[in-house]
Chains A and B, each alone.
Chain A
Amino acid sequence: MRLLMIRVVEGVGGFLALLTIGIVINKALREMGEALDRRRRALLEPLVFEYLGAASSRPLRDSLPKSPSRRDRRLVEQILLEAARLVKGSTRERITAAFEGQGAVREAIRALGSARWWKRADAAEKLGLMRSEAAVEPLVQLMNDPEPEVRIRAARALGLIRGKTSIRPIVGALADPSRWSAIRVAEILISVGSEAVDELLAAFDTLPQNGRVSALDVLGRIRGLRAIGLMKRCLLDPHPDIRARSAHGLGLIGDPGTAPDLIGALQDQEWPVRAMAAKSLGRLGDPSAIPHLREAMKDRQWWVRCNSGEALRHMGTAGLEALTDMLISDDPYARHMAVAQLEEGRVIDQFVAELTSTDAQRRAAAIRFIDKVTAAARIDDRTRQAATSAQEGVRQALSNILKAPAQPGGGGTR
């Protein structure tokens, strides 16, 4: 028994010793490899940088040592990938040419066929950074990969390569049934920018409804002026999501010529469309929308009232005057929203401060204004100010106003 115990202890000890030796050797090899990488990189980097900074069309291989080792090829690829984020224009094109000349593009395309999804995803990402036209077709094929992450990386790579043939499949991917994927694809198209507009317009009618909603969102965020016609047409689409997204997009694009269409959309039977139209009219800032936004402040849906009020608040003096007029509206919803927006815009605070003005006219105007706010039945903030204002004059004036019975229509108690 004792002998058996000794054997077991010896066995475990031997195993631990071997394991330790293995770890030490492995660490030493890794550090040697890293040191060699550093030495080789110090040698190769100036050669690659010289190639990139040159105005000539001499290929990279002419600048490198003959028959580079696998390590050297890996390091050159790494240096090129790092330099790719620093430069644009002809130097960026030289990086692509170097990748192609070194065979790195061919290798990455081969890796797209790997059985492991993460290798396919990595290869797609690299191809995006290499920006070789030769990768477009294989990446388009990869957009049908069963793994969503691979499809996204392929889309991102195509977005980086750009060009018509690259963008078309990304637009098609907007219809991806996964909402998350569609959002990421939309971000890719937005980063492509105006180059994506024509492809989005051409593919629009072929997309399913969710794809069309995403496409309208992308077109709005790119601010594609060429999309205005499509968006105006979509304001009459049978699907409310499409109409709402078009209304939103027109506001993002910001063409004042679309104000009449958006004013029309304030009458839509679906409240999300009315809410988006109101928001967009605020962005356009066209004064012709003011009477319509005033009416929309009486809407039964809070979002429509809120967006209409906000729109008026952002429309300068005329908008603020409209909000002030709404304080005496016969509609209680509109009155409440007017107070909320005037509070948000710090307009009420300005008048409260004027309650103690030495100028009698300004003081009287402030009292009349606060009277209207009180009559609009939103007195919570004024009650707080009457109790807590640092100025005794303000506390006194507000207390007097609040004590007097508020007259609907701001009948003026003073």
Chain B
Amino acid sequence: MATTVSGRERILIADGDPLVRRFVGALLANNGYDVHLAEDGESALRSAVSLKPRLLLIDLVLPGKDGFEVLHALKGEPATARLPVLILSVKDREEDVVKALSLGAEDYVSRPFSTQELLARIRKILERTG
């Protein structure tokens, strides 16, 4: 799992909502991360393999494969099993959070979210899994 030549850590954002992709993408890019976007589950899986990001930030509601399926597939594949995943979702039911964490997600942030809190959590995950 890589950082870019410039030393910026690579983060893949997978979300079905283009506004969320653009907003979170801009937020992370403005904070020094190398951001890549995926709009559905399948492209998230492909990009996770090809781009080798340091972190995947993913929504549970995605076109095609949903976030749980993507998470399950990533953790079952040796090449991506250690990729840290942070869930950023509008779903905030207890059972969704528990399911995501038990499937191997590192953290869970529900929307609406605090930008500063999201950045702090991302930093913490990257430190922990660095």
Contact = CB atoms under 8 A, between A and B. Distances in A.
Interface of A: 45-46, 49-50, 52-55, 82-83, 85-92
B26 A50 contact: yes
A85 B111 CA distance: 8
Nearest to A84: B112
Contacts of A53: 26-27, 30-31, 115
B6 interface: no
A52 B19 contact: no
**Which has the most chain A C-beta neighbours within 10 Å: B23, B26, B31?**
B23
Contact of B114 (A45, A82, A83, A90): A90
A86 B112 contact: yes
A53 B32 CA distance: 12
A87 B113 contact: yes
User: SS class of chain B's interface: helix, strand, loop or mixed?
Assistant: helix
B26 A85 contact: no
Contacts of B116: 55, 89-91
Contact of B22 (A45, A85, A89): A45
A49 B114 contact: no
B33 to A, nearest CB: 12
Given A49-B26, A53-B27, A86 B111 contact: yes
B127 interface: no
Interface residues of B, number: 15
A392 to B, nearest CB: 42
A89 B117 contact: yes
A52 B115 contact: yes
A49 B117 contact: no
Contacts of A52: 23, 27, 115
For the complex of A and B, 10 pairs with smallest distance between CB atoms: A89-B114, A49-B26, A53-B27, A88-B112, A91-B115, A87-B112, A53-B30, A53-B115, A50-B30, A49-B23
Q: Is the interface of A mostly helix, strand, loop or mixed?
A: helix
Interface string B1-25: 0000000000000000001101100
A82 B30 CA distance: 20
A92 B23 contact: no
Contacts of B31: 53
Contacts of B27: 49, 52-53
A77 to B, nearest CB: 15
B11 to A, nearest CB: 14
A83 B19 CA distance: 8
A54 B29 CA distance: 12
23 contacts: A45-B22, A50-B26, A50-B30, A52-B115, A53-B26, A53-B27, A53-B30, A53-B31, A54-B30, A83-B23, A85-B112, A86-B20, A86-B111, A86-B112, A86-B113, A87-B112, A88-B114, A89-B116, A89-B117, A90-B115, A91-B114, A91-B116, A92-B112
A247 B23 CA distance: 48
A87 B20 CA distance: 10
Contacts of B113: 86-88
A55 B27 CA distance: 11
Nearest to B114: A89
A81 to B, nearest CB: 11
Given A49-B27, A50-B26, 18 more contacts: A46-B26, A49-B26, A49-B30, A50-B30, A53-B26, A54-B30, A55-B116, A85-B112, A86-B20, A86-B23, A87-B112, A87-B115, A88-B113, A88-B114, A89-B115, A90-B114, A90-B115, A91-B116
B19 A86 contact: yes
A352 to B, nearest CB: 34
Interface string B102-125: 000000000111111100000000
A85 B23 CA distance: 12
Nearest to B19: A82
A72 to B, nearest CB: 18
A50 B20 CA distance: 14
Nearest to A45: B22
A49 B112 contact: no
Contacts of B20: 86
Interface in B57-74: none
Contacts of A50: 26, 30
A54 B112 CA distance: 17
Contacts of B23: 49, 52, 83, 86
Contacts of A46: 26
A92 B20 CA distance: 15
Contacts of A83: 19, 23
Contacts of A82: 19
Contacts of B26: 45-46, 49-50, 53
A87 B110 CA distance: 10
Contacts of B19: 82-83, 86
A45 B30 CA distance: 13
Interface in B87-115: 111-115
